Amino acid sequence: MGVGIDLPLVWAVIILFSVMMYVVMDGFDLGIGILFPFFRTKEDRDVMMNTVAPVWDGNETWLVMGGAGLFVAFPLAYAVVLSAFYLPLVLMLVGLVFRGVAFEFRFKAREHRRWIWDRAFAGGSYAATFFQGVTLGGFLEGVPVRDGAYAGSPFAWLAPFPLFVGLGLVATYALLGGTWLVIKTEGPLHRRMRAVSRILAWVLLAFIAAVSLWTPLSQPAVAERWFSLPNLFWFAPVPVLVVLVTLYLQRELHSPGTHALPFVLTLALVFLGYSGLGISLWPNVIPPDISIWEAAGPPQALGFTLVGALLIIPMILGYTALGYWVFRGKVRAGEGYHG
């Protein structure tokens, strides 16, 4: 290339960062929708929604950023992956549309019609999360490509592993939502959130363990990657850390003094899981064998867009941080920002 910068690598980092931001940030607000069916009073639900109402749409922008980045930097991956997971992605979008409008309309609906938007909110959150997980699971299983196009079945995602990962992601986001609400709530709701989060943390550990066993067993390529030297040294700390963090999280959920730490520990779990996926896939952007350099778009496109991305992404991060700072603290019943 002769430019001196490895553009596909830089873009891979930007996209990985955007997806990570998305999982962390939209994860906890989708999680609140997932927890909705377990909290039935209007007051509890008002508080739960109000803790994320000022920030949720900023969180979703990272999904668009990741998608646009993929289109720019790896058009082949954008084309192949999006058409491979056509149905789950469309269902995910429909879920996000319903959830997004429910945020606005629920607070304006009359008493006897609120249930419509309550269901839209919870249902949309479940659908969006589950189908994201299904897409992730199908992606991990590998995406067959022939002549630059997806060569698999339109229903390849309708298999045990992707569906299982879909459920796993529901548990992940639920725990993110539960521990987020531990920070943002108080009183009986706060105590119930701790109890729910304790259960969810065990459930998530079980899912992580199952996926970690299932992946190498079903995919020899991943197994080889994990258990060969020197990769094993890099990878070995991950499961150990997952167990340690889970135990620490359980302890903190029991101790009434800490409020923010459970959420931070859950973020650590998510990050560990994410890095585990990264180790399994790197440097492929279409598993099992198309690398970021093979799928990269023309350098003129990557370079041209990088200028704008490096200029604007820091500004978005700064504004986002400011928004969270401004809306910090507990949210009390009857104190919705919608008034």
Partner 1 sequence: MDGLDALMLARIQFAFTISFHIIFPALTIGLASYLAVLEAIWLKTGQRVYLDLFQFWLKPFAVAFGMGVVSGLVMAYQFGTNWSEFSRFAGGVTGPLLAYEVLTAFFLEAGFLGVMLFGMQRVGPGLHFFATLMVALGTLLSATWILASNSWMQTPQGHEILDGRVVPVDWLRVIFNPSFPYRLVHMVAAAFLATALMVAAGAAWHLLRGRDNPPVRLMLSMALWMTLVAAPVQAVVGDLHGLNTAKHQPAKLAAMEGHWENTPGEGVPLILFGLPDMEAEATRYAVAIPRLGSLILTHSLDGQFPGLKEFPKEDRPPSPIVFWSFRIMVGLGLLMIALALWGNALRRGGRVYASRPFLKFALAMGPAGLLAILAGWITTEVGRQPWLIYGVMRTAEGVSAHGAAQVGFTLALFVLVYALVFGAGTLYLLRIIRRGPAVDESLHSREGGPGRMRQGMRPMSGASDDEDDSPASAATGA
Angle between helices 237-254 and 261-281 (to 10 degrees): 160
Q: Which of residues 212-251 bind partner 1 (CB under 8 A)?
A: none
User: Which of 16, 82 has the CB closer to partner 1?
Assistant: 82
Both tokens of 34, joined, read: 């997932």
CB-side neighbour CA atoms (13 Å) of 102: 27
Nearest approach in angstroms of CB 263 to partner 1 is 21
Does residue number 291 form part of the binding site for partner 1 (CB under 8 A)? no
Measure the CA–CA gap between 198 and 250, rounded to whole angstroms.
6
CB 7 within 8 A of CB 306: yes
Secondary structure (3-state) at 25? helix
Nearest approach in angstroms of CB 52 to partner 1 is 11
Nearest approach in angstroms of CB 252 to partner 1 is 28
Find how far residue 81's CA is from the centre of its chain.
17
Nearest approach in angstroms of CB 240 to partner 1 is 38
The only residue of 38, 187, 308, 321 in contact with partner 1, by rule CB under 8 A: 308
Q: Which of residues 44-103 bind partner 1 (CB under 8 A)?
A: 53-54, 57-58, 60-61, 63-65, 67-69, 71-73, 75-76, 78-83, 86-87, 89-91, 93-94, 96-98, 100-101
Which positions from 109 to 138 touch partner 1 by CB under 8 A, shown as an x/- string? xx--xx-xx---------------------
**145-146 and 284-286 strand pairing:** unpaired
User: Which of 40, 110 has the CB closer to partner 1?
Assistant: 110
Residues written for the chain: 339
Which residue, chain included where needed, has tokens 């135990």? 247
Nearest approach in angstroms of CB 55 to partner 1 is 9
Dihedrals phi, psi of 109, to nearest 5 degrees: -75, 155
Nearest approach in angstroms of CB 69 to partner 1 is 7
Q: Which of residues 156-185 bind partner 1 (CB under 8 A)?
A: none
Does residue number 284 form part of the binding site for partner 1 (CB under 8 A)? no
Query: Across the chain, where does the E strand assignment appear?
Result: 145-146, 149-150, 284-286, 290-291
User: Which of 109, 210 has the CB closer to partner 1?
Assistant: 109
Nearest approach in angstroms of CB 116 to partner 1 is 6
CB 44 within 8 A of CB 185: no
Query: Applying CB under 8 A, which part among 36-44, 104-112, 234-242, 286-294 lies near partner 1?
Result: 104-112
User: Which of 272, 296 has the CB closer to partner 1?
Assistant: 296
Does residue number 316 form part of the binding site for partner 1 (CB under 8 A)? yes
Both tokens of 138, joined, read: 């199908």
User: Residues in contact with partner 1, total (CB under 8 A)?
Assistant: 72
- Beta-carbon contacts of 291 under 8 Å, excluding residues fewer than 6 positions away, are 283, 284, 285
Secondary structure (3-state) at 43? helix
Nearest approach in angstroms of CB 14 to partner 1 is 11
Angle between helices 114-141 and 7-35 (to 10 degrees): 140
The only residue of 37, 154, 220, 237 in contact with partner 1, by rule CB under 8 A: 154
